[in-house]
Amino acid sequence: MEDQKEIKVEQTITETPETPKTSKQKKPTKKQLVSELLAKSNSKVFIANWKMNNKFADIKAYFKKFNKLIGSDKTLKTMGNVLIGVAPTAIGLLPVVGMARKGILTVAQNVYHKENGSYTGCISYDQVHEYNINYAIVGHYETRTIFNLKEADVNEVVKSLVNNQMTPILCIGETAEEKDNGLTQKVLSKQLLNDLKDVSANQALNVIIAYEPIWAIGKSPATNDEIDKNIKMIREIIGSIYDSETAKNIHILYGGSVDENNAAEILTVRSVDGFLVGRAGLDPLAFYKIIKSSPEYIESEKILKSKNK
């Protein structure tokens, strides 16, 4: 893993999507892929999951605005502990690589665990890696449900990513029925034990966990008490699988109806390390406001303003 500035993809994006040009890149070395940012336990992570949205013209319009917002933000430049990523559809990956300004990561929504082969319709981790795309969402509820993805399948993808110095954004969460029946801890434990099978403690620190209660997706977010309780529970489970240090330092995001109006309130929960954002991530201004809502940003902004007086 590394900041996208370390390897430049030679690519021209024109007015139409027919003529993007890419040149084959050498695969980054393991040394290059060590993420100093993710190693910071106080860093915040914000990923916009576009799902099956945004065509070429939409992507172009998005980054015309989003690049300007991020690029002109003096507070973000001084912080150095914020990871911002955008996860487009598979066909949108290369346009995003070409259009996103330095420091905005391109994230794959899904990859297959095999390097290559006769797997029609799949994109391998190695193919996205070639274009300096080192983050991938794994095990999202919609992917698990629509494509009947089993936990063993999720585990194979997680292992392929961490074994190649890439970062899985591993989604876990319980259904409304499981929540109502008091099965949240059992479900989360089962998912984590199976999804992280044969993943070492050191590798686990390169995994980002996204807690997305299924009952909150597209509806209303969990309460702060529910979020705090369940993220602490996830850390306890991680601690039982590995150790307390791994549990303390692994990044755990919240996802589920996050928007620019509730983000600041949710981020008062100290156990939340950021967001996997759905619908609100389709609006560059809304996503930017979510990024600005973190207590760390607000504090850094105050310090910067006081220095400039």
Q: What is the pTM of this model?
A: 0.87
Q: By residue range, what is the domain housing residue 277? A: 37-307
Single-letter residue type at 78:
T
Copy the structure tokens of residue 68. Answer: 């300007």
pLDDT at residue 305 in the model:
83
Cα atoms in the 13 Å half-sphere on the side-chain side of 14: 7
User: Looking at the domain assignment, is residue 2 inside a domain?
Assistant: no
Q: Which residue has the higher pLDDT, 30 or 107?
A: 107
Which residue out of 113, 140, 142, 260 is catalytically annotated? Answer: 140
**Which domain CATH number covers 256?**
3.20.20.70
What residues are paired with 45 via a beta bridge? Answer: 83, 274
CA distance linking residue 261 with residue 142, whole number of Å: 25
User: Looking at the domain assignment, is residue 9 inside a domain?
Assistant: no
* 18 pLDDT tier (thresholds 50, 70, 90): very low
CA distance linking residue 229 with residue 124, whole number of Å: 36
Q: Give the model confidence (pLDDT) of 205-248 as tens digits.
A: 999 999 999 999 888 899 999 999 999 999 999 999 999 999 99
140: annotated active-site residue: yes
Single-letter residue type at 23:
S
Q: Where are the alpha helices (DSSP H) in the chain?
A: 36-39, 56-71, 74-79, 93-99, 125-129, 141-146, 151-162, 176-180, 184-195, 201-204, 224-241, 244-249, 263-266, 284-292, 295-307
Single-letter residue type at 307:
K
Are the C-beta atoms of 2 and 33 separated by less than 8 Å?
yes
251: annotated active-site residue: no
Backbone dihedral region of 168: left (phi > 0), alpha (psi from -120 to 50 degrees) or beta? Answer: beta
CA distance linking residue 48 with residue 281, whole number of Å: 5
* 307 pLDDT tier (thresholds 50, 70, 90): confident
pLDDT at residue 42 in the model:
65
User: Looking at the domain assignment, is residue 157 inside a domain?
Assistant: yes
Q: Give the model confidence (pLDDT) of 65-94 as tens digits.
A: 999 999 999 999 888 889 999 999 999 999
DSSP 175-231: -HHHHHTT-HHHHHHHHHHHHTTT--HHHHTTPEEEE--GGGTTS-PPPHHHHHHHH
pLDDT at residue 167 in the model:
97
Percent of the chain at pLDDT above 70?
86
DSSP state of 111: -
The b/e string for 131-143 (b: 16+ C-beta within 10 A; e otherwise) is: bbbbbbbbbbbbb
Cα atoms in the 13 Å half-sphere on the side-chain side of 28: 26
Which residue out of 156, 178, 212, 260 is catalytically annotated? Answer: 212
The b/e string for 18-37 (b: 16+ C-beta within 10 A; e otherwise) is: eeeeeeeeeebeeeebebeb
Q: Which of 118, 93, 176, 109 is nearest to 149 (CA)?
A: 109
Domain count, the chain: 1
Are the C-beta atoms of 276 and 231 separated by less than 8 Å?
no
Q: Under 8 Å CB-to-CB from 281, ≥6 apart: which residues?
A: 47, 48, 49, 50, 86, 287, 290
User: Looking at the domain assignment, is residue 27 inside a domain?
Assistant: no
pLDDT, mean over the chain: 89
